[in-house]
Amino acid sequence: MQAYQPAKLLRFHFTERDRYKGKPLYEAIVEKCREMKMAGATVFRGLEGYGDTAEIHRPHVLTHDLPIIVQIVDTNDNIQRLLPVVEDMMDKGLIAISDVSTVRTRKSEPG
């Protein structure tokens, strides 16, 4: 069994409407993570939520403004390198950072 490694979990919370240079913010963040050689990034679309304005974000027929979370798990050094870059890309939202323990698993291909 492999040993657990300390890491950071970084989450950016915003909505589908948020943009960076004309493209969806979540796409721009994932591209930036790839460019900066982060371990990986995952985008989650929420079903419903609200933030500091208490405005409910849920599916509507005419508009798309569901909650979005971009999640990155990487070393503290890499997270600290990425954080100011993405902060500059965001107009509004929430950034959460947590300490986590990680272990990589990979099963070998059969025979």
The model's pTM is: 0.84
Domain that holds residue 66: 5-102
Q: Which residues contact 19 (CB under 8 A, 6 or more apart)?
A: 25
* Total tally of structural domains belonging to the chain: 1
Q: State the pLDDT confidence band at 108, using cuts at 50, 70 and 90.
A: confident
| Residue 107 forms part of a structural domain | no
| Residue 111 forms part of a structural domain | no
CATH of the domain at 37: 3.30.70.120
| Residue 98 forms part of a structural domain | yes
* pLDDT greater at residue 49 or residue 104: 104
| Residue 108 forms part of a structural domain | no
Strand intervals (E) in the chain: 5-15, 19-20, 23-24, 42-45, 67-74, 94-102
Rounded mean pLDDT of 32-59? 82
Q: Which two tokens stand for residue 111?
A: 């025979």
